[in-house]
Structure 1
């Protein structure tokens, strides 16, 4: 079955270049009306210009699609609310939100200014929170919504010099988990993409030959799938170079220690058993994990 987005309205943040541009073009090509959001700043978030968003809108319109440009700074909730209000005035509904906007301010933790840590969290975390909050009640009323967060291997697994970026990206997985539960009865599905792609974020990190193999259009199909009517929920898709995988948080089975063993030494003695990854599994909700501990603690 062909995935289409006819009669759907999508907001894509950070859509003036790179991955966001690919998502916006892909959604529009399959029938969606698209709000192309981009603040137009530099990689570190400085500056700002409407030109990048307008250029993508022009591409969409030349291809026969429907789009409007918006220069809201996603870290500013008032600006985000105005963007959403404008989208509703223009199109009457909002079905899809792709939280893609981001900045980089890489430095080792010892050399990083706290302002640079906060700036990255403001754009990635609060930017995604602001945009999601602004469309949430609209999607609840419609009883339909598809939201995509953007994570990274830097958050899931760690990367030198990206304590701010990694923290922000892991926070968005937590946001996805909570909103999946809250949105379930309203047919709002929340998922996450963890992309590996040649963008201005990675331009000076990887060699040119490798960058050519991981162009953003080789990630786009995964995001469009997560935006579709039959998308899963609470799913992290990692994507790069045309390859896709699914990640999740897993936990080993809890090991109950006797009262006599309930010491730091007891934990050390049993740590091989506690860290037995052959028992690992994922939990649907936090309550299921809590219940596993309560069951053991109560002797059941």
Structure 2
């Protein structure tokens, strides 16, 4: 499944995703909706995936958000398919990939975005709330990647090496931690690490994998960070979800050739490449340490190292 003739590795142009087929999970609202519409404007055919659940993942009587976004894409003159698969199940993730292949005959880009919140301080966090958030975020990234990559591997083995892309959604909470969001922070940190592994493992199949940590106004942020996320009366709306989507479209296009295994932050008009965990300082005795010796050694390492990023919501 090579890139179509209309695709270009050279950046630029509003139709940067022309001819591509893109799957976006959690695309019924917020960031996912913005991504789906941005891809459609850039020339892609889009599979809009959303279960239509509440902010905490519970079932709710909704207005079929995936279908509404698909209608918006068609109103723009684009093509869209609807998926209500549960992407945190093997069957649902496999069916999601099949939907793209059956409807459009190919799959070029997977954007993993689905998620929800169940915020509690750790001492008050129920096991079910831990499992549910880890399931939808972390497992909900793993399974669509697994099934999409299996397809791309088959294509590569048949001599049709794709220009495939995966864009995962981490969070500042995953990169720095967030008080009251231990389950969410752990899941999002796992997604960042999973991205690095997938980038290496999928590279032989012509697949690039990157992640971003977005900051934008969505159902998941507009309550927790209400003051920071409020829309201005006029001027540039820095927290609009649409500000994040251009980076997602670029990373999901053939123009991003050669960029893989990276984690970005995207907020307002800023794009930041994150540096990840790096060795800051080291003490080597050349032999086994005695615990009593380590106080001076460890304090010396801390003194020589940069201050860590503050956890969101930290006191002081």
Bin of the TM-score, shorter chain as denominator length: 0.7 to 0.9
From 268, 278, 285, give the equivalent of 1:257.
285
Q: Residue 293 of structure 1 corresponds to which residue in structure 2? A: none
1:230 alignment partner, SS class: helix
Q: Residue 268 of structure 1 corresponds to which residue in structure 2? A: 295
Matched, 1:108 2:108: no
Q: Residue 169 of structure 2 corresponds to which residue in structure 1? A: 150
Gaps of 5+ in 2: 1-10, 232-237, 307-316
| More helix per residue | 1
Deviation at 1:80, TM superposition (A): 1.9
Contact 2:27-2:35 at 8 Å conserved across structures:
yes
Cα distance between partner residues in 1 of 2:42 and 2:289: 59
Matches within 5 A, 1:1-300: 1-3=11-13, 4-47=16-59, 49=62, 51-140=64-153, 141=155, 142-144=160-162, 145-207=164-226, 210-212=229-231, 213-231=238-256, 232-247=259-274, 248-259=276-287, 262-275=289-302, 276-277=304-305
Contact 2:216-2:229 at 8 Å conserved across structures:
no
Contact 1:36-1:69 at 8 Å conserved across structures:
yes
Cα distance between partner residues in 1 of 2:265 and 2:117: 20
When residues 126 and 111 of structure 1 are mapped into structure 2, their CA distance, relative to the original with a 3 A threshold, is same
TM (norm. structure 1) is: 0.87
The alignment of Structure 1 onto Structure 2 pairs a total of residues equal to 277
Cα distance between partner residues in 1 of 2:168 and 2:12: 24
When residues 249 and 201 of structure 1 are mapped into structure 2, their CA distance, relative to the original with a 3 A threshold, is same
TM (norm. structure 2) is: 0.83
Contact 2:243-2:269 at 8 Å conserved across structures:
yes
Cα distance between partner residues in 1 of 2:63 and 2:142: 23
Cα distance between partner residues in 2 of 1:182 and 1:237: 20
Cα distance between partner residues in 1 of 2:79 and 2:201: 31
Which aligned segments of 4 or more residues in structure 1 are displaced greater than 6 angstroms?
none
Deviation at 1:209, TM superposition (A): 6.6
Cα distance between partner residues in 2 of 1:258 and 1:16: 56
